Amino acid sequence: FNRNFSEPAVQMEVFEKQVKLACDMNKPLFLHEREAHAELVDILNKYRDRLPPAVVHCFTGDAAALDRYLEMGLWIGITGWICDERRGLHLRDLVARIPAGKLMIETDGPYLLPRDLDPKPDSRRNEPMYLPHVARAVAAARGETPQVLAAHTTATARAFFALPNVD
C-alpha cells in the first residue's frame, strides 16, 4: 500500500517549510515519521537552535532512532502499537529508556486499535476510551504503576501543550 500522495522530495520541501513556520511562530511540532528518520533528523537539525517543542508522534522506531530523538530533546509518543504482538514488542524494551517528562501516550484514533483488547470492539475503530489500555501496557513495560505513568505523562502533556491544571 503506497501512502505517498506526492513525491518524497515534495513532501520534504513542504515539511521543511512547516518546521520553519513553527520555529518562526514558536508553535509546537507534532511529527509523524514514517520510514524517513534520516530525512526528518536532517531537516530538524537545520533549525535545532530555535526548534520549538516537538513530539515524535506514534514512535515505532528502533533503539538508535529513539536515542537520536532524545539527544535532540524531542518528546516521544507511544500508541497502541506497543500492544501489537507482531510488530510492537520491541517498544516494550524501549519505553523504559524514555525519561519521564519526555514520554507521551496516544491512541492514534481512529487507527491502531490495540490488538490485545479483549473483547475487541465490533467497529475496529480506535478511540480515546482505549487510552487507559495503552497506558497499562506502557506502565507494565516501564515497571511503573498505571497511576505513576498517568501522573507523569499528564504533567508532560500539560507542559508541552501549555495546558492549565484542572483540579
- Reported as a single tens digit per residue, the pLDDT across 35-67 is 889 999 999 999 999 999 999 999 999 999 999
pTM for the structure as a whole:
0.92
Q: Is the pLDDT of residue 4 over 80?
A: no
To which residue does cell 486499535 refer?
Answer: 113
Q: Is the pLDDT of residue 14 over 60?
A: yes
Question: Please, where are the H alpha helices in 76-117?
Answer: 89-94
pLDDT tens-place string over residues 16-31: 999 999 999 999 999 9
User: Coil, strand, or helix at residue 78?
Assistant: strand
pLDDT tens-place string over residues 62-92: 999 999 999 999 999 999 999 998 989 999 9
In which element (H, E) is residue 111 found? none
Residues 6+ apart with CB under 8 A from 161: 28
pLDDT tens-place string over residues 126-154: 999 999 999 999 999 999 999 999 999 99
CA dihedral 79, 114, 39, 9 (to 10 degrees): -130
**C-alpha cell at position 151:** 501522573
**C-alpha cell at position 5:** 500522495
Residue type, 9: A
Residues 6+ apart with CB under 8 A from 88: 60, 81, 82
**C-alpha cell at position 25:** 511562530
